[in-house]
Structure 1
């Protein structure tokens, strides 16, 4: 197999949760361009159908499956629908997640009087929203003996980032779960079943838009701090995650397992000096 063939996703069936989000859109575009078939999961039917149309314009087969990844029975139903259409599952991208406004603790808030229920919701969405699909779709991958799962981690799992308590706790959990599951899957199902994570830097999405931009579109002080502490001196563009995604889904990363790859313009590497 040539090196170019190793990066191909031709005829691989990839499930993308959170496919109606900004990063999900970029992931779907990349998978389509690499030749994959895509099952797009999300709760917004119109957005999901838009993503299907985009994938089809790029020459890929795609279906929309309206699913709440926090509901185990809905995810099982989605799995059955995907298997009925495509017959198998070769990869999973757990892109569902994001911060919840009520879980953001601003500097002016009393740290100990914040609404803890919203923090718990943020933890559940990002952590359980990764674990549930992995256990359901991952079973198909494991039992066929080959496939790749990608979780979405964060800078918040390696660096202390103020305000986002629930998101931070959840992403630490995602990192730990990725390592644990990578070990268990390989020991039980062999060396062709893999799970890794991508830790994006700061990308402007719908979930963080109010934190990073003012009403006039300029950066907030918080966004400017991210820019100032990134050697690239800018925020990331969603398409800059595509190469890493395809690499981890493809056979090119066959010996990569249990790792978290940062795509952050050097933010995590820099001391600030």
Structure 2
């Protein structure tokens, strides 16, 4: 990975910053795509492996379609970490919130990938950070989970379509991040998951190592992924038995 150059969305989040650190540890450079210029400048001053900063709102289709990367720049991969969700019932979502979730987590992300694809070297990595929620029924987080399930499905299909590229899907469980502050301003979900939250440093390192080893899927924590395999055998039965757990995002 020494000397390689990657593109990263969602760089200002906790996982995004830790991915920058992990790439730096392995001698790799990164160009970041962010919405907040002030936060981007702070990151660039802090990490010397950040080569370029692109200011881009992932919820703005016009900006995505106008995004241009010089044809002379070739990347070794793109890591899509930008994500958004709200922990509320379906009908409690506003129309704008629903559109925002699918735009950022799925639609505009795919369009951005297609825009950057010509600038990827053969064998480059496309890493899409999905969620463990993509694999399980998620009441009071239905649109977030649905967008991530669609992202996982798209990523798997892309992997088969583009055998010249390395395509990796990441399904992380809960970890401490700014995402939860927006999804659940009450802090309830953070408190409920405090004892099972992933270590963000380790998660970022595992993602980078997964890129090095050309893995096609990362599921963390492994015990949760193992349990979900049993859930898939009889999901409706599990929903009845563990109903309280399924409603953990109800706030």
Task: Indicate whether 1:200 and 2:157 are aligned.
Answer: no
Q: Which runs of 5+ in 2 are unaligned?
A: 229-241, 243-251
SS at match of 2:125: strand
- Structure 2 match to 1:64: 53
Kindly report the root-mean-square deviation, in angstroms, between the aligned alpha carbons of the 2 structures. Answer: 2.6
Distance 1:171 1:213 in 2: 21
TM-score normalized with structure 1 length: 0.74
How many residue pairs end up in the alignment? 229
Contact between 1:127 and 1:174, CA under 8 Å: does it hold in 2? yes
Task: Indicate whether 1:149 and 2:106 are aligned.
Answer: no
The alpha carbon displacement at 1:96 in A equals 1.1
Query: What do the CA deviations read for 1:173-213 (whole angstroms, capped 9, x no partner)?
Result: 11011011111111xxx3xx111111111012112126668
Contact between 2:88 and 2:140, CA under 8 Å: does it hold in 1? yes
Given candidates 193, 197, 205, the residue that maps to 1:243 is 205
Stretches of 4+ aligned residues off by more than 6 angstroms: none
The alpha carbon displacement at 1:113 in A equals 6.2
SS at match of 1:146: strand
Given candidates 22, 29, 43, the residue that maps to 2:21 is 29
Given candidates 110, 133, 146, the residue that maps to 1:131 is 110
1:235 to 1:75, Cα distance in 2 relative to 1, 3 A = same
Task: Indicate whether 1:262 and 2:219 are aligned.
Answer: yes
- Structure 1 match to 2:235: none
Distance 2:97 2:182 in 1: 17
TM-score normalized with structure 2 length: 0.80
Task: Indicate whether 1:105 and 2:88 are aligned.
Answer: yes
Distance 1:223 1:52 in 2: 29
Distance 1:113 1:40 in 2: 33
Given candidates 40, 65, 69, the residue that maps to 1:48 is 40
Distance 2:46 2:208 in 1: 18
Distance 1:126 1:248 in 2: 21
- Structure 2 match to 1:177: 154
Q: Which runs of 5+ in 1 are unaligned?
A: 1-8, 228-232
Distance 2:137 2:106 in 1: 18
1:92 to 1:116, Cα distance in 2 relative to 1, 3 A = same
SS at match of 1:10: coil
SS at match of 1:80: coil
Given candidates 194, 209, 219, the residue that maps to 2:181 is 209
- Structure 2 match to 1:20: 12
Task: Indicate whether 1:168 and 2:157 are aligned.
Answer: no
